[in-house]
């Protein structure tokens, strides 16, 4: 009897434990993607990127003699119907860890098992299952460095190759058409511009990893903080959709360590930041929606999205070049350099005193590498409300940050068109990407800062001081 493989954020053929097990069983395999309420709730850019990923993944399956069956509806109902239609005896999938998926998957597993279906989940989205990393006292880690030390010597296992031809059922169940789902419909900026900067799929992910290991990892340590150069792996969107397994990235990084390549250990450490985010999300899922430290609940952060400063921040017109450059990079490419993410988040939560949740939501809508755990951990880290957070009083100065990390002005020039006689294509693309209703033009003058940097910093620190003395 066939096995239904329920794909979600694991759009790959190589190093896929459930697919490997299904292949080895010799039974027919029916790959399925369900557009359910969890997928429907994705932000605009992650949803658009999901569409790109599904398109490429379906082609990859077809090259192996298989197909991707697309269905829309509640996951349990869809899977149940497919079991009926195909006579499948099993439904297998790769585990996910955010609360919405855990709740859904637990219910699906229990119901299908009750009905006599072999419902099973496999690991694969992470190097280390979040519950397997424990402190000496049997608790979880709240600080990164000891977490890193705890996993450093572990072997997450070697990645497995993709199976050859994947046997399918005699009769394929009907599938929706991907175009009819219009997964890009919510992209106000339209997908075409972001598509120029996106190369979806497993093959592209592997190419990117190979190129990074060949050419980038040696200088990763020194270049990873420089937003103006292509100095990082850019694997995040592939990891977010599971187009590459973290094991593959880890194994490549490990080999680079053995070859003595500088920067290789730093790369492994970054992969472990992703693991740490999942570890925290598993143990404290409230971190997605609430201050990780509840003492921050009384902090006077603003949440009114209509405030002109919030609009200026979203529209990347704060008048602060590093902040605007980062936000424009995200709007055009779907990505933002990590250094810029920290600077724009600090500016929003400190200089503008806006709640990190407002920024988190905007990133969720705009990032093609959106990841629930890393995004929430990143925002709470910068805001100061997270477990292993930068102290609130450490306010990033976006001017000195730009001088330090973009000394030749490459990043600022790449993204800020105003004031340049011949702006590069990237800087102009921003103005093509923004919705007309924003009424922006590269010919207009660059805006004056929406808040003086010293004034914003003092205001934030005064609020922080008041909060401290109130406790
Ligand atoms: P590289 O420097 O090449 O690192 C390799 C991999 O390590 C990354 O692909 C990523 O999987 C992981 N990694 C690196 N830095 C971090 C980090 N700080 N936290 C967790 N994992 C990390 N990352 C996301 O993948 N999705 C998000 O939605 C996201 N939101 C963020 C929001 C804020 C406010 C901040 C400060 C950071 C956020 N990050 C997020 C983390 C980080 O910025 C990105 O992972 C990184 O910029 C991706 O680029 P890269 O793949 O070239 O990274």
Nearest CA to ligand 1 atom 14: 270
Distance 240 CA to ligand 1 centre (A): 10
Question: How many CA atoms, within 13 angstroms, populate the side-chain half-sphere of residue 112?
Answer: 28
Which runs of E-coded beta strand occur in 76-197? 90-94, 118-122
Interface ipTM: 0.99
Distance 409 CA to ligand 1 centre (A): 23
Task: Evaluate whether 418 touches 431 at the Cβ level (below 8 Å).
Answer: no
Binding residue per annotation — 114?
A: no
Whole-number pLDDT of residue 181: 98
Task: Evaluate whether 437 touches 382 at the Cβ level (below 8 Å).
Answer: no
Whole-number pLDDT of residue 97: 98
- Ligand 1 lined by 374 (C-beta under 6 Å): yes
- Ligand 1 lined by 363 (C-beta under 6 Å): yes
User: Which among 401, 429, 397 has a CA at the least distance from the CA of 414?
Assistant: 429
List domains and CATH numbers for the chain.
Answer: 1-124 (3.40.50.620), 126-155+202-283 (1.25.40.80), 294-465 (1.10.579.10)
Whole-number pLDDT of residue 471: 61
Residues 6+ apart with CB under 8 A from 434: 189, 315, 331, 440
Whole-number pLDDT of residue 390: 74
Q: Which helix (H) or strand (E) holds 31?
A: strand 29-35
The rounded distance, in Å, linking the Cα atoms of 179 and 430 is 26
- Ligand 1 lined by 345 (C-beta under 6 Å): yes
Report which ligand 1 atom has the smallest distance to the Cα of 375.
30
**Measured CA distances, 22 to 159, 162, 172, 194 (Å):** 16, 12, 17, 35
- Ligand 1 lined by 333 (C-beta under 6 Å): no
Binding residue per annotation — 267?
A: yes
Distance 332 CA to ligand 1 centre (A): 18
Whole-number pLDDT of residue 304: 87
The rounded distance, in Å, linking the Cα atoms of 62 and 187 is 28
Whole-number pLDDT of residue 451: 92
Q: Report the interhelical angle of 338-346 vs 372-383 (nearest 10°).
A: 50
Give the mutation target among 128, 378, 388 for probing the ligand 1 site: most ligand atoms within 8 A of CB.
378
Task: Evaluate whether 81 touches 112 at the Cβ level (below 8 Å).
Answer: no
- Ligand 1 lined by 274 (C-beta under 6 Å): yes
- Ligand 1 lined by 292 (C-beta under 6 Å): no
Whole-number pLDDT of residue 415: 98
The rounded distance, in Å, linking the Cα atoms of 48 and 361 is 16
Distance 171 CA to ligand 1 centre (A): 42
Mean pLDDT by runs of 10 across the 471 residues of the chain is 98 98 97 98 98 98 97 98 98 98 98 98 97 96 96 92 95 98 90 92 98 96 95 97 98 96 96 98 98 93 90 97 98 97 96 97 98 98 87 88 96 96 95 90 92 91 78 61
């Amino acid at each position: 009897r066939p096995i239904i493989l329920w794909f979600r954020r694991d759009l790959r053929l190589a190093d896929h434990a459930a697919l490997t097990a299904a292949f080895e069983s010799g039974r027919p395999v029916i790959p399925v993607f369900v557009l359910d309420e969890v997928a429907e709730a994705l932000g605009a850019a992650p949803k658009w990127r999901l569409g790109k990923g599904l398109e490429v993944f379906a082609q990859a399956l077809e090259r192996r003699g298989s197909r991707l069956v697309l269905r829309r509806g509640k996951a349990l109902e869809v899977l149940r119907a497919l079991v009926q239609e195909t006579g499948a005896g099993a439904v297998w999938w790769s585990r996910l860890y955010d609360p919405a998926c855990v709740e859904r998957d637990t219910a699906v597993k229990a119901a299908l098992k009750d009905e006599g279906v072999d419902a099973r989940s496999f690991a694969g989205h992470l190097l280390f299952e979040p519950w397997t990393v424990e402190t000496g006292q049997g608790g979880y880690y709240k600080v990164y460095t000891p977490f890193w030390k705890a996993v450093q010597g572990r072997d997450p296992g070697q990645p497995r190759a993709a199976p050859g031809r994947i046997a399918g059922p005699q009769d394929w169940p009907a599938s929706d058409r991907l175009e009819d789902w219009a997964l890009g419909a919510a992209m106000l900026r339209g997908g075409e511009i972001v598509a120029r900067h996106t190369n979806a799929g497993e093959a592209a992910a592997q190419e990117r990893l190979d190129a990074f290991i060949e050419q980038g990892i040696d200088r990763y340590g020194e270049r990873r903080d420089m937003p103006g150069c292509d100095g990082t792996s850019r694997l995040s969107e592939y990891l977010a959709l599971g187009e590459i397994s973290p094991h593959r990235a880890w194994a490549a990084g490990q080999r680079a360590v053995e070859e003595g390549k500088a920067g290789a250990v730093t790369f492994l450490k970054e992969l472990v930041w992703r693991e740490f985010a999942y570890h925290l999300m598993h143990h404290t899922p409230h971190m997605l929606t609430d201050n990780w430290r509840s003492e921050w609940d009384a902090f006077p952060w603003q949440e009114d999205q209509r405030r002109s400063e919030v609009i200026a921040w979203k529209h990347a017109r704060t008048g602060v070049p590093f902040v605007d450059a980062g936000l424009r990079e995200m709007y055009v490419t779907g990505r933002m350099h990590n250094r810029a993410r920290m600077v724009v988040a600090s500016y929003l939560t400190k200089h503008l005193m806006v709640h990190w949740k407002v920024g988190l939501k905007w990133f969720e809508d705009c990032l093609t590498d959106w990841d629930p755990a890393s995004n929430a951990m990143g925002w709470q880290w910068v805001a100061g409300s997270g477990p292993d957070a930068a102290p609130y009083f450490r306010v990033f100065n976006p001017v000195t940050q730009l001088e330090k990390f973009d000394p030749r002005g490459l990043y600022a020039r790449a993204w800020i068109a105003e004031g340049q006689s011949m702006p590069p294509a990237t800087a102009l693309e921003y103005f093509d990407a923004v919705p007309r209703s924003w009424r922006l033009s590269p010919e207009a003058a660059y805006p004056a800062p929406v808040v003086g940097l010293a004034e914003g910093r003092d205001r934030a620190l005064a609020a922080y001081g008041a909060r401290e003395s109130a406790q």
